[in-house]
Amino acid sequence: KAGVTQTPRYLIKTRGQQVTLSCSPISGHRSVSWYQQTPGQGLQFLFEYFSETQRNKGNFPGRFSGRQFSNSRSEMNVSTLELGDSALYLCASSLEPANTEAFFGQGTRLTVV
């Protein structure tokens, strides 16, 4: 069974631009969560999607948004990029949201210059 796939692996963007990251969950998994990983703040929860609906959201500004498609694939978007948005963005897939194992993708390394 294929694991969680994130594309692209690396991105370099300029301040003020926007970016879209993609995540394909493990086949059969319907829940996708997104996390930001930085050396200073560690792993922080962004949002979670299940059945194409955002179930909950972490403490991030409205510039961070996402969506989920009917095939459970998910995208996240960051608008008006800031230097501080440079991070590793990880998505994790689960069978369902509540208390089940979450498996991470390799992540997208975003660098904002």
Partner 1 sequence: GENVEQHPSTLSVQEGDSAVIKCTYSDSASNYFPWYKQELGKRPQLIIDIRSNVGEKKDQRIAVTLNKTAKHFSLHITETQPEDSAVYFCAARRGGGADGLTFGKGTHLIIQP
Q: Indicate the residue among 14 and 62 with the shorter CB distance to partner 1.
A: 62
Q: Indicate the residue among 14 and 59 with the shorter CB distance to partner 1.
A: 59
How distant, in Å, are the alpha carbons of 1, 15, 24, 63, 89 from that of 78? 30, 11, 18, 5, 11
Q: Which residues bind partner 1 (CB under 8 A)?
A: 4, 33, 35, 42-48, 55-56, 58-59, 90, 92, 96-99, 101-107
Task: Spell out the residues 6+ positions from residue 50 whose beta carbon is closer than 8 angstroms to its own.
Answer: 30, 31, 32, 68, 96, 97
| Minimum CB distance to partner 1, residue 5 (Å) | 11
CA nearest to 56, candidates 46, 64, 65: 46
Hunting for tokens 């692209």 — which residue is that? 8
| Minimum CB distance to partner 1, residue 108 (Å) | 11
Q: Indicate the residue among 6 and 81 with the shorter CB distance to partner 1.
A: 6
Alpha carbon distance 110, 19 (integer Å): 9
Q: Indicate the residue among 17 and 100 with the shorter CB distance to partner 1.
A: 100
| Minimum CB distance to partner 1, residue 30 (Å) | 12
